[in-house]
Amino acid sequence: ALVELTYRCNLDCVICYNDTDLAGAPLTTAEYVRFFADLRDLGALNLTLTGGEPLAHPDFFTLGREARQLGFVVRVKSNAHALRGRLAQRMKDEVDPFTIEVSLHGASAQTHDRQTRVPGSFARLIANIRESQALGLRFRVNAPLTVWNEHEIEAMFALVDELGVPF
């Protein structure tokens, strides 16, 4: 099951389908936990926490821990922009996801940052992956193909190989 925890995000990717203007009330933490239990009872084995940026959800760590305690193989889809330092350590200690899926929008800062519309997002992504790998967190890289990055496909493969991350 793939569960969108929030529409909030700290990037503004050109290609994102996320509608930050959607109205409605988010589920409470208790409602999410009941929902997770229902998914478990239906036989779901994997639970992917996503968003927007799931780490922007104020109760992300509570929800991640609950998902693990319910027996799910937990995956997280994140832009990894905030995944460093104490937050990365908490991810390892409290959630320890099977994998964290991140999007790479190019093999260069110029291309990646153009698509995220956040200067420095490429350097931060690469640094945060490296730091988090040292803690034992596991990653998978997705690369949405666009006209802005198609000329960097081979370089993206090389970068992902250098990082030692599945692509």
pTM of the model: 0.94
- The model's pLDDT over 71-103, given as tens digits with 9 standing for 90+, comes to 999 999 999 999 999 999 999 999 999 999 999
Q: Considering the chain, what is the average pLDDT of its residues?
A: 95
Reduce the DSSP state of residue 48 to 3 states and report it: strand
Give the closest residue to 46 by CA, choosing from 77, 27, 71: 71
User: 101, 150, 155, 151: which is closest to 129 by C-alpha?
Assistant: 101
Q: Which amino acid is at 108?
A: S
Tokens of 13: 């990717």
Cα torsion through 145, 1, 23, 91, rounded to 10: -80
- Per-residue pLDDT band at 19 (split at 50, 70, 90): confident
Residue listed under structure tokens 């050109």: 14
Confidence of residue 17 (pLDDT cuts 50, 70, 90): confident
Residue 22 pLDDT > 80: no
Digit-coded pLDDT (tens) for 131-157: 999 999 999 999 999 999 999 999 999
Question: What pLDDT score does 26 carry?
Answer: 84
